[in-house]
Structure 1
Amino acid sequence: MWSRREAVATALPLDLWPKVQKAALRSEDVEKYESYELAMRLYFEYQSVKFITERTGIAAASLPRMARKCLEIASDGKIFGFRALVPHVRIEPYRRRAPLGRKFGEQQGGQTGALGMMLDRFPELEEKLTRFIKQDAKYKDVPEFRLRSRDLHKLFIKAIQEYGVSASEWPFTTKHRGIKSIRNFMRDVLDRNFTRSVNIREGTAAKAHLNVGTGHAPFLHFSEPYDVVEIDAYRIDCHSTVTFRTPEGTERDLLLDRLWLIAVVESASAAILSYLVVYRSEVTKEDVIKVVRDAITKRWHPMELTVDGLNYPPDAGLPSGIIDRAYGALWSVTKLDGALAHLAKPVHENLRKGLGFVINWGAVAHFERRDSVERTFGQIANKLFKRLPSTTGSNPHSGRAPNAQEKALKHKIRAAEVAELLDVTIAQHNATPNSGLSSLSPLQYLQYHLEGDIPLCTTRHLPKEMSKNGRTFSTTISVTVRGGRESGRRPYIQLDGARYTNPILAEAGYLVGKRLFIDIDNADDDFRQVRAYLENGADFGYLCVQGKWAHTKHSRRTRKVINSLVYHRTIVVSEFDDPVHIYMAYLGKTNSKTKRGMQPLSAKQVTKATQVSRESGLELVIDAEPKPDEFHTRTTKIVANRSSLLDTPVIGLMKVRNRR
């Protein structure tokens, strides 16, 4: 029973009611709304009904109805308030009361509210249709991923037939049997359950966007430079080539696999602190460690540009090369995605403990957690990669150049030149004014906070001794010293199928059987020497690899790959062979089954060979035949000091002569 006294006593103060912007109303509705609003203000101020009627012209019988509408709860959880007084606005869904008349097949109109009447007639029908739309896991009536409106319509027809609706009733008397009404009903249910409908019906991108724009303040808030950096990898949206030397002495461009770009982006300014182009099919833990090490210990310098007309903009570059206080600066939080490379133990333990930052793990496929680095990748792609003739676009249906691979070969879009363009583009990105930074560039923003007589913020820096010895970025393993007097073998250690020693260890027979701790730099491309420590932690100096592995620079990953190929008898490495040369020859070997018109090496081979070439400095050659004397450069120099009648030292005699 409606009671004005009780309603006035329990209602919110009028100043707290949701209001209406009258400028948004039609001119003919403004005067009507103003009279309604005045009537409700007087009504809840407990003025007499007669006075309200005389003042506003509104009938006395309409006042309680209007007051009840104002106090109804809206979908946003608030009362409707003055919003309920806007002319022609319904606060409840339309329900038809008049019975449906007979309708011919092609007759238009006259069926408004027919579905509502059907749902009122069978209350469980609305619940059943809603359950179908929401794909409720408790019931699983329809196991489809994304139910279509036409499929829901079939379920609706089947359900009402089971309820006994005859062929002479709606919707069987209409041409389309109510499919438009079902489509509108489905849209309304999905809109009312927005979050759930996105989670059960849409893709990963839509689900990721669902987590932003909620109106709630973020739980983690960062406001100063170097509070947080974001690290992520992006597969470059273009094809590129490298140059191989042919057996005839000419040059030939061969296609690479698509490369990866991994970057460290400072969140507050969106400045790129460091980056790395990865010549592999996936980013590894070594790549992550290397790009972090470069961000902290490497001072940026401009590249020597070979592309005609390419220049660095004024005052452009990476922060470590432009801002003195940015060189060696540490951050507090690192945002990483959930990729396996980022979950590796060296990344989590060595870097987190050694550098003192917190790791914020991002959920898989939720790029919105690292919005700065994702947006930066998009800008770099639009400025550079998507403008090249060999671009692959963001996906096969958006921006892909026709015959992109053929154009990469035709125009000789070489990876080395793309690297120069990338360095200039990143330097330009850091020097470009940004409206989000009050028209300051990322570099200017960092300079404003870090430089000056009184810096606005302070940053931690890695101690010089830690940045020089590199132990922060290394993995420590324990090995046993081998050798002994009985066998006559000088003390040595074994690492990944190779012996390591130095003149001190070679004379330290007392260490045989003891343990040494070895620091292996995960980001170093030269695995020919490692640093050793005694059991008590004392520095024992560097140990150098012996034998065939000592000739050519290589990384630990490359050695493991070569050892695996040798173990599976894919390649054969003799005692006198340089394993890296043999591996490069294996990667450069053409396939006899290659079809005419195709490049002689697969893109995977080319990419692996390029990575090894970058490590070792070896030339890229197709069908190279390793020469034995190439693998004994160091031995040849030693022997050349002795008198010999031979122009080239014979391999078989070298061991005999060295026994003296």
Structure 2
Amino acid sequence: MVDPSRGIDPNAIRLSDWPQLDERALTGEARTTFGQRRDAVEAYASGSSLLHIYKTWGIHRSTLHRMVRRALSAHPDGRLWGYRALVPHVHVQAYERNRAPHVLVHSTAGNAGAFGQLLQRHHNLAEQLRKEIETRKVHLQPGEKGRLVGLKAVIQRFHQSCRELGLGAGDYPLSQHDRAVRSLARTLRGWLQDDFDLAARAAGQRIKPASALRQLPERGSADAFDTVEFDAHKMDVRLKVIDNDPLGGEQSYEIERVWLLAIIDVATRCLLGYTLSFSRECNRFDAIETFKRAVTPAKVPELTLPGLRLLPTGGFVSQALEQTSYACWRQIRLDNARAHLAATSLDVVCEALGCAADFGPAYQPDDRPFIERYFGTVTATLSRRLPGAIRGKDAAKVMLKRLRDPNDTLRLLVTTQELEELLHVTVWNYHGSPHAGLGGLTPLEMMHRHVLGIGRDAIRLRLIPKPLREHPEQLHDPVLCRVHGNLGRGERPYITFYHVRYTSQKLARSSGLIGQRLRIHYDPSDLRQLWASTEDGHMLGSLFASGKWRDEPHSLRVRQQIFKAKRARELDFGPGDNPIEVFLALRRKQAKKRRRAASDIAQVQRERRTAKPPPTDSASETVTPEQTPSPLAKGPVKGKALRITRGYSR
């Protein structure tokens, strides 16, 4: 313990934790003085008396206590100063000025530390200079140290901020001959030298993932299904959708954009799950859908394009190793995207799947190097090889130029269905190709070693609960819906979910549930069927949509777009109309001018292509003899005389 009157307890000094110093770098008197101080501190830590130290090395007790306190202070690198504080003329603490700055119009001497004093008094000025670096309004030219560019504009904005704070011509820095221009430049350069990531960003450069692994703490993992990384990647490629109009002709439209969401296992580099999204921006439903595909078994892709071939050594993880079906990971790394920070996404990650979420810093892709490197592989091997690839930083400008070109044609562009098939083949063959980060092994071979225990101990897989396997829609947070109905009018119980009625044979006969609330689980990719339970946990089974909504596969996004267009009076449909077809007719009219409308058409096509058979309610109930309807009459039917009661005109 530290006592100002007695100094520091020698038993509290741990010399093993002190950073060492190469004393051979010191010369002359400095080396001799350092050796005396080092020997005196080591003798004090070993229990020698202060009198013995004074007689041997001539160091007074106050001087010894001051050196120990300096050595135990924190260094800017995060460690103790240690033996480095014993070097003569070394400043452990930065200089802090106490006196007011002098007014120096024709000279620059005598104002040491005045600029730091100014930033301490006015924190807004320091934040402004930090923001100038982060937004690259002042940056470094490429080179060993770099030259500050844009400093003149930064100085003008800094002086203007000083005037807004009330500093006049008689106040620092406006009272100086150079107005503290050199002090400002030294401060900016000092900040850049202390923070390498900030300096690299100011220079317009980015640390590559391989370099980040060498300079940052190790981000790898020793076991499969221990740590995974998840992220979304916007593919820089132009895509089209081919639609068949009601007259039988084919129409081609260019969609807006496509996102690739993927989860990769860090230890084996295997891709556990991936999803394509045609939305303008990814949302929480796309993230949860990727989680669901990562923990459920995958199927062998069906190829329709000529020339595609699946490598015999490749495959999907759950298809090659059946024991990994429904296996979940321990930790997942994500960025600070809003879709990942949503409460629903966090509930799925932390509660339903029972894993920990590691959110890295914003705008730091190198914190998740493995998924970023995989996106680079997809870009090099797939995206840039397609006819509609857009390369370089000016991808948006190139796309606008092509769209404005009247001679541009969509004939050579890849369709959305073809991209999905190409992506399936890419992932399949990637798992069967040698990986440089795995010592020449393929990702599937490495996964076999971890799961089967080849050359190492076999890992213990953690499987998701059985209810989640049978009903993956439980990954989404339930929605509470009130049961409507009226016994007096003979209106059977039902619920309303996103403007559509749902019911079932069991719910229709449960009149006691009218007025109560049900917990509704739903699959955003298919809203034809819901899964319901009471608030106390009793299962009610599946609920089915009414009308055409039950027959046509559609997602939550499509239904939201339909009713949004209906509120805007862009479309209208009656009880007997097919709302999906009415919506497609509207989007066909808009697709030639709006790529977002073409994306909606591609979304509907994919939902119809991947949809399951329409749900039925026959298996949920057993019909009793009392409920058996009477058979229909056969043969000629004899008419009865019509009797009109008195009071009605003929």
- Matched-pair contact (CA < 8 Å) for 1:391–1:400: no
> 3-state DSSP class of the match of 1:283?
coil
Give the whole-Å Cα distance in 2 for the aligned partners of 1:162 and 1:510: 83
- In structure 1, give the amino acid aligned to 2:252: D
Separation in 1 of the partners of 2:215 and 2:197? 18
2:579 matched residue in structure 1: 579
Instruction: Note if contact 2:255-2:596 (Cα within 8 Å) is conserved in structure 1.
Output: yes
Residue 605 of structure 1 is aligned with which of 597, 607, 631? Answer: 597
Amino acid in the other structure paired with 2:345? V
Name 1:316's counterpart in structure 2: 314
User: 1:108-142, CA deviations, whole angstroms, 9 ceiling, x for partnerless residues?
Assistant: xxxxxxxxxx9997335675678999998454698
- 1:304 partner SS: coil
Aligned to 2:98: none
Shift of 1:534: 3.7
TM-score (norm 2): 0.66
8 Å CA contact 2:20, 2:83 repeated in 1? no
Out of 382, 385, 396, which is 1:387 matched to? 385
Structure 2 Cα separation of the partners of residues 390 and 19 of structure 1: 63
Contact 2:315/2:428 (8 A) holds in 1: yes
Provide the secondary structure at the position in 2 that maps to 1:381.
helix
Distance in 2 between residues matched to 1:152 and 1:605, nearest whole Å: 44
Q: How many angstroms apart in 1 are the aligned matches of 2:391 and 2:533?
A: 51
Structure-to-structure mapping, 1:65-464, within 5 angstroms: 122-124=108-110, 127=113, 137=123, 139=125, 145=132, 146-147=137-138, 148-149=150-151, 186=185, 190=189, 193-195=192-194, 199=198, 202=201, 212=212, 217=217, 222-246=221-245, 249-306=248-305, 308-396=306-394, 409-452=410-453, 455-464=457-466
Q: Report the alpha carbon displacement of residue 190 of structure 1 after superposing the two structures with TM.
A: 1.6
- Kindly tell me: are residues 254 and 398 of structure 1, through their superposed partners in 2, closer, same or farther at Cα, counting changes over 3 Å? closer
CA contact (8 A) 1:263 1:272 kept: yes
Change (3 A) 1:296 1:205: farther
Picking from 497, 500, 503, the partner of 1:501 is 503
- The 3 A distance-change label for structure 1 pair 420 and 486 is same
Partner of 2:643: none
Report SS of the residue matched to 1:589: helix
CA distance in 1 between partners of 2:128 and 2:339 (Å): 39
Seen in structure 2, the aligned counterparts of structure 1 residues 19 and 500 have a Cα distance that, compared at 3 Å, is same
* 2:349–2:357 Cα contact (<8 Å) kept: no
Tell me how far 1:265 sits from its aligned partner.
Answer: 1.0
TM-score, length of structure 1 as denominator length: 0.65
2:327–2:462 Cα contact (<8 Å) kept: yes
Instruction: Give the deviation of 1:562 after TM superposition.
Output: 1.8
In structure 1, what residue type is equivalent to 2:310?
Answer: Y
Alignment partner, residue 640 of structure 2: none
Name the amino acid aligned to 1:304: L
What code does the residue aligned with 2:413 have?
K
Q: How big is the shift at 1:192?
A: 7.2
Q: Which amino acid aligns with 2:580?
A: V
Q: Give the Å deviation of 1:418.
A: 2.1
CA contact (8 A) 2:528 2:545 kept: yes
Mark the runs of 5 or more structure 2 residues left unpaired by the alignment: 1-14, 37-70, 92-103, 139-149, 160-168, 612-631, 635-650
Matches within 5 A, 1:54-65: none
SS at match of 2:440: coil
1:400-439 CA distance string (max 9 Å, x none) = 6896667671413222222222222222322232232222
Describe the shift of the 1:444–1:642 C-alpha distance in structure 2 as closer, same or farther (beyond 3 A): farther
AA partner of residue 499 (structure 1): R
Q: Secondary structure at the match of 1:311?
A: coil
CA distance in 2, matches of 1:197, 1:416: 44
1:513 maps to 515
Separation of aligned partners in 1, 2:534 and 2:84:
77
Whichever residue aligns with residue 585 of structure 2, its letter is: A
Q: Could you tell me whether the CA contact under 8 Å between 1:432 and 1:442 is conserved in 2?
A: yes
1:471 CA drift (Å): 5.0
1: CA distance, partners of 2:492 / 2:175: 91
Change (3 A) 1:247 1:542: closer
How far 1:363 moved relative to its partner?
Answer: 3.2
> Aligned equivalents of 1:262 and 1:215: distance in 2?
28
Deviations 1:568-608 (A, max 9, x none): 32211112211111111111114xxxxxxxx7242111001
Equivalent residue in structure 2 for 1:18, among 19, 22, 26: 22
Deviations 1:200-225 (A, max 9, x none): 9945976888995795646x773211
Which letter maps to 2:559?
R
Residue aligned with 1:513, SS:
coil
Rg larger in structure = 1
Q: Is contact 1:234–1:261 with CA below 8 Å preserved after alignment?
A: yes
Deviations for 1:433-485, whole angstroms, at most 9, x for unmatched residues? Answer: 22322222222111111114774321211244530222532432333332233
Change in 2 beyond 3 A, CA 1:398/1:427: farther
SS for the counterpart of 2:285 is helix
In structure 2, distance between residues paired with 1:477 and 1:608: 26
Distance 1:605 1:471, change over 3 A: closer
Find the aligned partners of 1:506 and 1:398 in 2 and give their Cα distance.
Answer: 54
Question: Over aligned residue pairs, what C-alpha RMSD do you find?
Answer: 4.9
| Alignment-derived partner of residue 64 in structure 2 | none
User: 3-state SS of the aligned residue for 2:368?
Assistant: helix
Aligned to 1:88: none
Tell me: CA distance 1:80–1:335, structure 2 relative to 1, closer, same or farther (3 Å): closer
Q: Secondary structure at the match of 1:533?
A: strand
Q: Provide Cα deviations, 1:12-65, integer angstroms capped at 9, x if missing partner.
A: 9xx9653889xxxxxxxxxxx9xx99xx89x979xxxxxxxxxxxxxxxxxxxx
Greater CA drift, 243-252 or 337-346: 243-252
Determine the C-alpha separation between the residues in 2 that align with 1:244 and 1:471: 30
Q: Following TM superposition, by how much is the alpha carbon of 1:564 offset from its aligned partner in structure 2, in angstroms?
A: 2.7
1:316 touches 1:431 (CA, 8 Å); kept in 2?
yes
